[in-house]
Amino acid sequence: MDNNIRLLTYAEAIREAIFQEMQRDDSVLVMGQGVDDPKGTAGTTLDLHKHFGKERSFDVPLAEDGMLGVAIGAALAGLRPINVHIRLDFMLLCMNQLINMAAKNHYMSGGDSTVPLVLKGAIGRSWGQGSQHSQAFQSFFMHVPGLKVVAPTFASDAKGAMVAAIRDENPVVYIEHRMLFGMKEHTPKELYASEIGKARIVINGDDITLVGISHMVIESYRACKLLQLKGINAELIDPIWLSPLDIDSIIESVKKTNQLLVVDNGWQECGVAAEICMKVVEFFQGKKNIKVGRLGFANTPCPTTPVLEDHFYPNAASIASKVFEMIRPNEKLWKPKHEQAEEVANFKGPF
């Protein structure tokens, strides 16, 4: 094996991206609640202050809106701040700065100024995170012109996407997932930026196109393995970037499979899946008969008790079952046994 490629966790890959960018460029800085504490935001910002000083990686007051405003001001002055939130839910407190200011500064100034910043936060799940520590807002962010949105699933993509986000001239919302932090993938040591708006084909297949978002790529991957037992070969795509979205790669796949299921890691209503399905339908209508479907969170707040929480999320079995129903509508419904994903079952906080 190439020495330059090691197994790295998702969290380590994000930290390595930030670390290497901070080494390369003095204008990159990290600001957020607890970024310099002993936990270092699940490891993604761990000890950066020890290497780069308190001026470049620092704790901030509990003032999400104000602190994003500070990051925007710093970006206007030529710095490249990464504004870190432990959880995505707290980003709701800075929507004014994000949407009214960061997203439209370049446009309203007629191109006079830019706001190069990264707004990073994690979607939570499991072990009683409840309604306020589990929310996913990618569709909100995708709705707003001027923002870029990325939600990587695998460590190597997390690294390349973070580097690309830091170097981009626009506000980029970087969405992590708590269940992914410990997952390992072979990741290059060298510094690299991934192509913004480029999807990854995770599994090649001909029978159906399966698009997963964030952690749902992992559950969809497991669903693909179950489906293979039934002789069904799904093509699994991880868009990585949601805005801009690599719709061309999805359309290319559907040309081959004629079927599309999108599994969002978010509420289904007005969600990412609706947008992807609509774009695909618009492309094919009048040309070809295709079938589309979607899955997402139940249309409820996320319950805290584990029994209900388990029903709230799509899982490998429910995804496989849905695919089977789409591909073989005339056969009896197939419901593979649901086994809770190990990262979900093993997660024990403490937060």
Partner 1 sequence: MDMQLILNLYRQLFLIRSVEQKIAKVYPSDVIKSPVHLSIGQEAISVGICDVLRREDIVFGTYRGHALYIAKGGNLNSMMAELYGKVDGCCRGKGGSMHLLDSSVNMMVTSAIVATSIPQAVGYAMSLKYSASDKVVVCFFGDGATNEGAFYESINFASLKKLPILFVCENNDYAIHSSVQSRSAQTELYKIAEANKIESYVIKDNDVFKIRSLAKNLIDEIRSGEGPRFLEVYTYRYLEHVGPNEDWDMNYRPSSEKDPWKQQDQVEVLGSKIPTDLKISIENDVKHEISSAFEFAENSLFPNQSELEKHIYG
**Residue from 37, 169, 195, 269 in contact with partner 1 (CB under 8 A):** 169
d(CA 343, CA 58): 30
User: Based on CB atoms, which residue is closest to partner 1, 73 or 293?
Assistant: 73
C-alpha of 12 from chain center: 16
Instruction: Encode burial over 77-93: b for 16+ CB neighbours within 10 A, e otherwise.
Output: eebbbbbbbbbbbbbeb
The answer to the question of residue 114 lying near partner 1 (CB under 8 A) is yes
Q: How far is CA 319 from CA 150, 219, 315, 338, in A?
A: 23, 8, 6, 10
The answer to the question of residue 149 lying near partner 1 (CB under 8 A) is no
**Number of other CB atoms surrounding residue 256 within 10 Å:** 14
Write the secondary structure of 27-60 as one string of H (helix), E (strand) and C (coil). Answer: CEEEEECCCCCCCCCCCCCCCHHHHHCCCCEECC
The answer to the question of residue 268 lying near partner 1 (CB under 8 A) is no
User: Based on CB atoms, which residue is closest to partner 1, 80 or 177?
Assistant: 80
The answer to the question of residue 118 lying near partner 1 (CB under 8 A) is no
The answer to the question of residue 13 lying near partner 1 (CB under 8 A) is no
Q: Please tell me the number of Cα atoms within 13 Å of 14 on its side-chain side.
A: 32
User: Based on CB atoms, which residue is closest to partner 1, 38 or 111?
Assistant: 111
User: Based on CB atoms, which residue is closest to partner 1, 114 or 228?
Assistant: 114
The answer to the question of residue 33 lying near partner 1 (CB under 8 A) is no
The answer to the question of residue 38 lying near partner 1 (CB under 8 A) is no
DSSP string for 318-344 = HHHHHHHHHH-TTSPP--PPP---HHH
Among residues 12, 16, 21, 64, which one is catalytic? Answer: 64
User: Based on CB atoms, which residue is closest to partner 1, 70 or 274?
Assistant: 70
Judged by CB under 8 A, how many residues of this single chain contact partner 1?
42
User: Based on CB atoms, which residue is closest to partner 1, 79 or 236?
Assistant: 79
Q: Is 343 a catalytic residue?
A: no
Q: Is 49 a catalytic residue?
A: no
DSSP letter assigned to residue 301: P
- Alpha helices for 100-168 (secondary structure H): 105-108, 138-142, 155-167
Scan residues 51-80 and list those touching partner 1 (CB under 8 A). Answer: 55, 60-61, 63, 65-79
- Closest contact distance (angstroms) between CB of 65 and partner 1 is 6
The answer to the question of residue 34 lying near partner 1 (CB under 8 A) is no
The answer to the question of residue 257 lying near partner 1 (CB under 8 A) is no
DSSP-based three-state secondary structure for 294: strand
d(CA 173, CA 98): 9
Contacts of 111 (CB under 8 A, 6+ apart): none
The answer to the question of residue 113 lying near partner 1 (CB under 8 A) is yes
- Closest contact distance (angstroms) between CB of 56 and partner 1 is 8
Active site (catalytic) residues: 64, 133
Residues within the interface to partner 1 (CB under 8 A)? 29, 55, 60-61, 63, 65-79, 81, 96-97, 100-101, 105-116, 145-146, 148, 169-170
